[in-house]
């Protein structure tokens, strides 16, 4: 269970850091790498997947906001 929690936590932090939330996934990745209990390739793969999926969320949000381009920011 500890392994799943470590990978899940790293994924969540990397995902959140790739969205508009101000987080640093590098610190979590570095801590797990220093721990030495997990394979480096697996940690990098999980962090990369979280970052990519977080970036996709940003892209989807940006595409959704495109429809508000010509509207005023404050309704009158």
pLDDT per residue of the chain (76 residues) written in tens, 0 to 9: 699 999 999 999 999 999 988 888 999 999 999 999 999 999 999 999 999 999 999 999 888 887 777 777 766 6
Cβ atoms of 28 and 15 closer than 8 Å: no
With respect to residue 75, please indicate whether it lies within any of the assigned structural domains.
no
Q: Evaluate whether residue 73 is within a structural domain.
A: no
Q: Is residue 36 part of a domain?
A: yes
**Residue 42, in any domain of the structure:** yes
Tell me, yes or no, whether 72 lies in a domain. Answer: no
Residue 19 burial by CB count (10 A; 0-12/13-18/19+): exposed, middle or buried?
middle
Structural domain of 10: 2-65
37 in a structural domain: yes
Model confidence pTM above 0.85:
no
The total of structural domains in the chain comes to: 1
Is 74 a domain residue?
no
Both tokens of residue 72? 């005023």
Domain-located, residue 71: no
């Amino acid at each position: 269970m500890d392994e799943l929690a470590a990978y899940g936590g790293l994924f969540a932090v990397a995902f959140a850091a790739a969205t508009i939330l101000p987080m640093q996934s590098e610190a979590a990745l570095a801590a797990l790498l220093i721990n030495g209990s997990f394979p480096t390739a697996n940690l990098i793969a999980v962090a990369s997947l979280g970052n990519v999926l977080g970036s996709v969320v940003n892209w989807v949000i940006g595409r959704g906001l495109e429809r508000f381009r010509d509207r005023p920011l404050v309704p009158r």
